[in-house]
C-alpha cells in the first residue's frame, strides 16, 4: 500500500499497467483458457473422499433380495397405468397401504404460459401419491425421500416397482431413525414442484395444489430413481439441479462407494471412467465429461427430478438406470441393494450433509475439482475487464492528474453529461425488459397475425426483439442532442466494463459454469471494443460473440459431446426449443437464467454495441 500512497511510484505502476495493458489482457485470457482446460487433467485434480464421518466406516450389509417382486409390481403398475391413462392413484394408494405406509395424495394443476411442444402439455392436471414409513421411536422430525416418476408410456415402470418393493422391505426393518417418504410424482418436474411447495407450504411459481395432509419433519436428503428396463448395464448419476445448484459432494461419493462395493458400473454424464489419464484419449475423455457438466450446469435447468429439492436445502441426486450394449448386466435386486445401502447410510446421518463441497466440477466420479481450483480460471477473465477499466479510468483522468498531484479523485464535472451515458444504459435495459416480458405476453397477438403455433410465436418474438435491439444505437444517437464525444464513449465503456465485471462475478459465484461460459465469449470482444475499429468486421465479431450465439454454440458443443452431432438445421431447431425451455423453466420452476440473460447480460452487451456505433 505504500506503493499507492507514494505518488511517484503509483504513477510508475499505472504507467506500466496502461502501457502493457493489451499484452497483459491477452496473457490473462490465454491463461484462463489453459487453466480451465487443465482442470480435467488428472494429476491436477483431487481424488474424492468421504468427508461425512457418519457415512464413512460403518459399512452396512445389504440384504434386499426381492428383485422379482419389484418386476412383477412394475408390470402390475404398468397395467393399471394404462387402464387409468395416467397415475393409477387408487391402486398405488392400496399398494402402499398394504405395505404398512401412511399414504396421502396431492392433486395439482398448472396452466403453462404457453404449450410445451417437447413434452406436449399445456393444461397439466395430476396427482402425486406418497407413503410415509414412520420410523419406530422417532419423533417425526427428520425424513428421507425416495421418488420415482410416473411417466407416460413404458418408461420408469421398474422404478415404481422397485420403490414399492423397497418400501415393503424397509417397513420390516427396525433400524430406521428417520421417516422415509416414498413418492411417486406425476408429470415429472411439475408434480415434484407441486409436492415440494405443498410440503413446505410455499407458493413461488403460481401452482395450484391441494395442501398436504401428512408430513415427516425436515427432509435431510432425497434420491430420485429412473429405471426403465428389467436389466441394466450401468447406473448414471445426475447431480445438476435448478440454477446450477449441486448437492453436497458426499452424496456423489456415497453413490460411488456403493457402486464400487457392489461392482456396479457407474457413469457420470453418461461417460464411464477411464484409467489412462496420461494418454491424449484419456485426457480428452475427462475434459469432455467436465465440459458436459459445465454446459449442463450453465443452462440452469433441473436435469432430473432431484433438481428442485436443492432450493429447499435438501441434498438430492437422480440415479438413472441405463441399458446399453454391454456384456455385463445387472438385475433389479442389485440396484435395490445399492439403494438400500445408500438409504441406510443416509439414515445414519447425525447432521445434514455439510462436510464436503457444494461447489465442484467432476471430470470423473472419482476425481473432483473444487471451487478453489476452478475459480482462478474465471478470476483471470474478470481481471481483464478490470484492467481495461483501469486503463480507461487513467485515460480519462490523465489531464486532471497533472493538475491535482497525488489525489485519486479525478472527477470531471465538465466532461460529457450524465445524459450521454445514461440514455444508452436506460434504453438498452428497456430493450432487456421488453425481451423479458413481451414474448409471453404477446403470444396471442402473434398467433392471430402469423401462421405459427404459440410456442413458435413466443420463441420467434424473443428472437425478433433480440434482433431489433441491434438497430437501437442509431436511434439512440438521434435522440441525443449533442454529438457523442471521445470522452462520452470512454465513460460509457468504463461503466459497461465495470457493470459486466460485477454481473459476471456475481453469476460465477452462484453458478460458475454460467459465469465462465459467458465470460469466455463476452470478455474478448467487450474488452477490445472501440468506435474506431472497422465497423462491418467488428460488428460481425460482436454479433457472433453475443449471448444468443453463445447459446447456439453451446447447443452444438453439447450435441457433439453427447455423441449425437446435429446438422445446422437441426441445431437451429434445438436452439429454438432451448429458448422456449428456458422461458418455461423460468415460469414453472423459477429458473433464473432467462431473466439474467434478458434483463442484465443482453442489455450490457447492447451497451458495447452502442459504443461500436458511437459517432
Partner 1 sequence: CQPHPGSFQEELVIRPLHSGDIYASFQFRTLWDTDFLQEGQKKVSHYRLFPKSLGQVLSKFSVQELHISFTQGFWRTMQWGQPFIPSPPGAELWVWFHDTVSDVDGNWKELTNVLSGIFCASLNFIDMTNTVQPSASFKPLGLGNATDHRFLRYATLPREIVCTENLTPWKKLLPCGSKAGLAVLMKSEKLFHSSFHSQAVHIRPICQQCTSKAWELRQTLNVVFDHYTSGQGKKEWSLFKMFSRTLTEACPLASSSKVYVDITDNPELFELSPATPLLSQAVVLGDRRTYSVYDLTRAETFGQLRSFNLLLRWKGDSGDMLRPLLHAERYVAGFGLQTGEIHTVIYNNHPYRAFPVLLMDSVPWYLQLYIHTLTVTSKSRDNKPSYIHYQPAKDRHRPHLLEMLIQLPPHSMTEVTVQFERALLKWTEYTPDPNHGFYVGSSVVSALVPSMVAMSTNFTQDQPLFSSFVPVKEESSYFVRVYTEPLLVNLPTPDFSMPYNVICLTCTVVAVGYGSFYNLLTRTFQVDEPSPPLAKRLANFIRRIRGVPLLA
Site residues (CB under 8 A) for partner 1? 1, 4-5, 100, 102, 134, 136-142, 171-174, 200-202, 215, 217-218, 311-313, 350-352, 354-355, 406
Smaller CB distance to partner 1: residue 43 or 211?
211
In the complex, the smallest distance separating the C-beta of residue 5 from partner 1, rounded to whole angstroms, is 6
Smaller CB distance to partner 1: residue 91 or 312?
312
Question: What is the H or E stretch that residue 539 is in?
Answer: helix 535-544
Report the C-alpha gap between 52 and 248 in whole angstroms: 10
In the complex, the smallest distance separating the C-beta of residue 313 from partner 1, rounded to whole angstroms, is 7
Distances from the Cα of 91 to the Cα of 80, 88, 151, 246, 543, angstroms: 7, 6, 16, 35, 56
In the complex, the smallest distance separating the C-beta of residue 215 from partner 1, rounded to whole angstroms, is 5
Question: What is the H or E stretch that residue 5 is in?
Answer: helix 2-5
Smaller CB distance to partner 1: residue 5 or 567?
5
Q: What are phi and psi of 154, to 5 degrees?
A: -90, -5
SS3 of 532, please?
Answer: coil
Place of cell 426393518: 173
User: Per DSSP, what are the bridge partners of residue 150?
Assistant: 186
Q: Say what the alpha-carbon torsion angle 577, 582, 584, 588 is, to the nearest 10 degrees.
A: 150
Smaller CB distance to partner 1: residue 175 or 450?
175
Smaller CB distance to partner 1: residue 219 or 529?
219
Report the C-alpha gap between 132 and 138 in whole angstroms: 13
In the complex, the smallest distance separating the C-beta of residue 178 from partner 1, rounded to whole angstroms, is 10
User: Per DSSP, what are the bridge partners of residue 131?
Assistant: 103, 182
CA atoms in the 13 A half-sphere facing the CB of 408: 7
- Interacting residues of 108 by C-beta distance below 8 A, sequence separation 6+: 124, 125, 126, 127, 128, 190, 191, 194, 195, 198, 207, 208, 209, 210
Place of cell 498531484: 405
User: Per DSSP, what are the bridge partners of residue 146?
Assistant: 182, 223
In the complex, the smallest distance separating the C-beta of residue 139 from partner 1, rounded to whole angstroms, is 3
Smaller CB distance to partner 1: residue 5 or 475?
5
In the complex, the smallest distance separating the C-beta of residue 7 from partner 1, rounded to whole angstroms, is 8
Smaller CB distance to partner 1: residue 53 or 275?
53
Question: What is the H or E stretch that residue 129 is in?
Answer: strand 121-133
In the complex, the smallest distance separating the C-beta of residue 108 from partner 1, rounded to whole angstroms, is 17
In the complex, the smallest distance separating the C-beta of residue 316 from partner 1, rounded to whole angstroms, is 14
* Long-range pairs of 25-28 with CB within 8 A, sequence gap ≥ 24: 25/384, 25/387, 25/388, 25/527, 28/380, 28/381, 28/383, 28/384, 28/387
Q: What is the DSSP letter of 340?
A: H
User: Per DSSP, what are the bridge partners of residue 219?
Assistant: 143
Q: What are phi and psi of 369, to 5 degrees?
A: -115, 120
Report the C-alpha gap between 418 and 414 in whole angstroms: 11
Smaller CB distance to partner 1: residue 167 or 462?
167
Smaller CB distance to partner 1: residue 281 or 351?
351
In the complex, the smallest distance separating the C-beta of residue 371 from partner 1, rounded to whole angstroms, is 12
In the complex, the smallest distance separating the C-beta of residue 216 from partner 1, rounded to whole angstroms, is 9
Smaller CB distance to partner 1: residue 355 or 487?
355
Q: What is the DSSP letter of 324?
A: -
Smaller CB distance to partner 1: residue 136 or 206?
136
- Interacting residues of 301 by C-beta distance below 8 A, sequence separation 6+: 240, 242, 307, 581, 582, 585, 591
In the complex, the smallest distance separating the C-beta of residue 522 from partner 1, rounded to whole angstroms, is 29
Amino acid at each position: 500500500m505504500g506503493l499507492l500512497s507514494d505518488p511517484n511510484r503509483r504513477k510508475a505502476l499505472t504507467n506500466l499497467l496502461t502501457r502493457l495493458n493489451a499484452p497483459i489482457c491477452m496473457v490473462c485470457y490465454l491463461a484462463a483458457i489453459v487453466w480451465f482446460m487443465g482442470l480435467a487433467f488428472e494429476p491436477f485434480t483431487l481424488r474424492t473422499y468421504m468427508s461425512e464421518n457418519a457415512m464413512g466406516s460403518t459399512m452396512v450389509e445389504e440384504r434386499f433380495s426381492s428383485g422379482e417382486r419389484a418386476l412383477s409390481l412394475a408390470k402390475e403398475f404398468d397395467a393399471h397405468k394404462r387402464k387409468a391413462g395416467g397415475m393409477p392413484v387408487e391402486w398405488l394408494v392400496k399398494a402402499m397401504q398394504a405395505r404398512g405406509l401412511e399414504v396421502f395424495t396431492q392433486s395439482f394443476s398448472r396452466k403453462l404460459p404457453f404449450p410445451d411442444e417437447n413434452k406436449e402439455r399445456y393444461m397439466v392436471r395430476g396427482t402425486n401419491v406418497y407413503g410415509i414409513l414412520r420410523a419406530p421411536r422417532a419423533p417425526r422430525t427428520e425424513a428421507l425421500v425416495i421418488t420415482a416418476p410416473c411417466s407416460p408410456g413404458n418408461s420408469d415402470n421398474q422404478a415404481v416397482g422397485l420403490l414399492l418393493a423397497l418400501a415393503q422391505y424397509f417397513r420390516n426393518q427396525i433400524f430406521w431413525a428417520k421417516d422415509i417418504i416414498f413418492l411417486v410424482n406425476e408429470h415429472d418436474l411439475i408434480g415434484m414442484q407441486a409436492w415440494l411447495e405443498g410440503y413446505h407450504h410455499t407458493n413461488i411459481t403460481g401452482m395450484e395444489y391441494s395442501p398436504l395432509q401428512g408430513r415427516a419433519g425436515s427432509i435431510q436428503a432425497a434420491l430420485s430413481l429412473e429405471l426403465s428396463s428389467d436389466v441394466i448395464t450401468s447406473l448414471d448419476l445426475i447431480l445438476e439441479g435448478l440454477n446450477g445448484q449441486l448437492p453436497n459432494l458426499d452424496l456423489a461419493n456415497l453413490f460411488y462407494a456403493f457402486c464400487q462395493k457392489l461392482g456396479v458400473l457407474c457413469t457420470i454424464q453418461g461417460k464411464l471412467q477411464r484409467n489412462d489419464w496420461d494418454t491424449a484419449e484419456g485426457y480428452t475423455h475427462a475434459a469432455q465429461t467436465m465440459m458436459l457438466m459445465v454446459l449442463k450446469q450453465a443452462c440452469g435447468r433441473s436435469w432430473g427430478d432431484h433438481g428442485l429439492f436443492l432450493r429447499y436445502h435438501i441434498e438430492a441426486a437422480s440415479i438413472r438406470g441405463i441399458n446399453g450394449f454391454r456384456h455385463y448386466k445387472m438385475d433389479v435386486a442389485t440396484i435395490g441393494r445399492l439403494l438400500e445401502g445408500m438409504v441406510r447410510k443416509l439414515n445414519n446421518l447425525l447432521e445434514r450433509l455439510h462436510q464436503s463441497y457444494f461447489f465442484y466440477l467432476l471430470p470423473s466420479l472419482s476425481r473432483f475439482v473444487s471451487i478453489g481450483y476452478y475459480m482462478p480460471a474465471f478470476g483471470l477473465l474478470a481481471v481483464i475487464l478490470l484492467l481495461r477499466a483501469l486503463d480507461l479510468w487513467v485515460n480519462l483522468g490523465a489531464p486532471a492528474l497533472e493538475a491535482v498531484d497525488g489525489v485519486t479523485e479525478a472527477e470531471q464535472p465538465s466532461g460529457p453529461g450524465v445524459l450521454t451515458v445514461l440514455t444508452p444504459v436506460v434504453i438498452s435495459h428497456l430493450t432487456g425488459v421488453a425481451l423479458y416480458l413481451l414474448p409471453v405476453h404477446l403470444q396471442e397477438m402473434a398467433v392471430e397475425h402469423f401462421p405459427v403455433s404459440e410456442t413458435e410465436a413466443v420463441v420467434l418474438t424473443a428472437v425478433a426483439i433480440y434482433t431489433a435491439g441491434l438497430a437501437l444505437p442509431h436511434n439512440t444517437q438521434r435522440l441525443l442532442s449533442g454529438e457523442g464525444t471521445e470522452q462520452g464513449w470512454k465513460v460509457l465503456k468504463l461503466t459497461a466494463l465495470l457493470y459486466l465485471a460485477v454481473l459476471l462475478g456475481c453469476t460465477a459465484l452462484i453458478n460458475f459454469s454460467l459465469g465462465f461460459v459467458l465470460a469466455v465469449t463476452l470478455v474478448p470482444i467487450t474488452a477490445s471494443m472501440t468506435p474506431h475499429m472497422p465497423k462491418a468486421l467488428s460488428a460481425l465479431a460482436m454479433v457472433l460473440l453475443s449471448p444468443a450465439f453463445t447459446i447456439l454454440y453451446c447447443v452444438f458443443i453439447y450435441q457433439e459431446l453427447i455423441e449425437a452431432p446435429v446438422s445446422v438445421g437441426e441445431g437451429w431447431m434445438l436452439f429454438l426449443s432451448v429458448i422456449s425451455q428456458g422461458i418455461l423453466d423460468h415460469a414453472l420452476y423459477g429458473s433464473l437464467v432467462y431473466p439474467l440473460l434478458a434483463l442484465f447480460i443482453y442489455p450490457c452487451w447492447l451497451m458495447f454495441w452502442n459504443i461500436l456505433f458511437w459517432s
